[in-house]
Structure 1
Amino acid sequence: MPSNCPTVTLRRFDVADVPMLLSMESDPEVMRYSTGVKVADDSRRHELLAWLDEPETDIGHWVIDVNGAAVGWVSLTPLGSTGRIQLAYRLCRSAWGQGIATQAGAQVCSYAWRTLGVQELAAVIWPGNDASVRVVKKLGFAFAGREHHYERETDVYILVRPDAKSGLSF
């Protein structure tokens, strides 16, 4: 990792992270290649608070923390009915272009391999989102094709568990 990259830590969400989530979701530039802008109102705040009350599982969303500041999230979630697990992330604009998404993605991929025993991960990227393509390629994902997800055509990238490629096991 280059010395100019900030150190990224991951943790589960708490109530103090709701303002960051609301800010990100209401930023049209952040949401440009995503599921759409969400208004940062009381209704959305209550939805997020209810989400925080749901029981944690082995997969889900983690806060991306840089020097004590929440700058986004990274997740492992089921990809619709495909049976695949999806790596996804979203960052505040102030955190773009610093290698943060790549670091967070690498940590979650390692967790998926070592703790969950997942054999491959998928990443769904809106066509034209070149920054996300660069991130997943740095992580080793390869383009697998175009598929329909989130009510639109998307580009899907796949990363096979490193030991699965060689037939070795941990």
Structure 2
Amino acid sequence: MLELRTARLLLRPFHTSDEEALFHLWNEPQVRRYLWDDQPVAREVVREQVTVSEQDFRERGFGEFGLFLAERPGALMGFCGLRCIDGGEDVELLYGLLPAFWGRGLATEAAQAVLRFAFEQVGLRELWAGADFGNTASLRCLHRLGMTDAGVRRVGPEQLPAQYYRLRRLDFAASAGA
């Protein structure tokens, strides 16, 4: 089974057993504020996201990972992973954590592991990541990851504007000392 590990985290692909925990994570008001445009997330949407991620891993070699503290591998505390933007060819880095885990550098640590996976194992050439304009914590995280400003992009069913960033494999390799 595919797993990514960092000093503090275990990342493993979404599984149907994660649906209940993801439902609670994505409906946590402070989390859904930026991830789901502050709209409630139905159980069917959670199930669909898990199914799409499982399919993406089978067909594309990447998808979304559940995030767990290494010392508590049974308690989902967030997610981090990759998906195609609006069904296109551009691949986007996504992440989110329960508020109790904010401010500890865990999103950056998880994202770095997923970036390494994307570039070194999957062989992607570039990744995108977006953040709502008011989400200053995510914007800082994207800067720490070495991503560069790529301008505003309209995404999602409502085509809402978000600030997007991009990172190329060559830039990641140079910053990682590879």
Name the TM tier (shorter chain): 0.7 to 0.9
Q: Separation in 2 of the partners of 1:51 and 1:146?
A: 25
* Alpha-carbon distance in 2 for matches of 1:123, 1:24: 20
Partner SS state of residue 146, structure 1:
strand
* Residues 13-162 of structure 1 mapped to structure 2, 5 A cutoff: 13-35=14-36, 36-39=38-41, 44=43, 47-49=45-47, 52=50, 54-55=54-55, 56-57=57-58, 58-66=61-69, 67=71, 68=73, 69-80=75-86, 82-150=88-156, 151-162=159-170
Find the aligned partners of 2:26 and 2:102 in 1 and give their Cα distance.
Answer: 15
Q: Which is greater in Rg?
A: 1
**RMSD (Å) for aligned C-alpha atoms:** 2.5
Point out where structure 1 has 5 or more consecutive residues left out of the alignment. Answer: none
Give the Cα–Cα distance (whole angstroms) in 2 for the partners of residues 120 and 39 of structure 1.
29
Q: Which runs of 5+ in 2 are unaligned?
A: 1-5
Partner-residue secondary structure (3-state), 1:136: helix
Opposite residue 165 of structure 2, the aligned amino acid is: Y
Partner of 1:29, secondary structure, is helix
CA distance in 1, matches of 2:41, 2:93: 25
- Give the total of aligned pairs: 159
Partner residue, 1:8: 9
Q: TM-score, normalised by structure 2?
A: 0.78
Give the conservation status (yes or no) of the 8 Å contact 2:66–2:76.
Answer: yes
Percent identity, aligned pairs only, is: 28
Kept in 2: contact 1:25–1:37 (CA 8 A): no
Contact 1:77 1:85 in 2 (8 A): yes
TM-score (norm 1): 0.81
Q: Return structure 1 stretches of 4+ with deviation > 6 angstroms.
A: none
Once the two structures are superposed, residues 51-71 of structure 1 have per-residue CA deviations (whole angstroms, 9 ceiling, x without a partner) of 545544311110111022311
| Distance verdict in 2 for CA 1:6–1:96, change over 3 Å | farther
Q: Indicate the structure with greater helix content.
A: 2
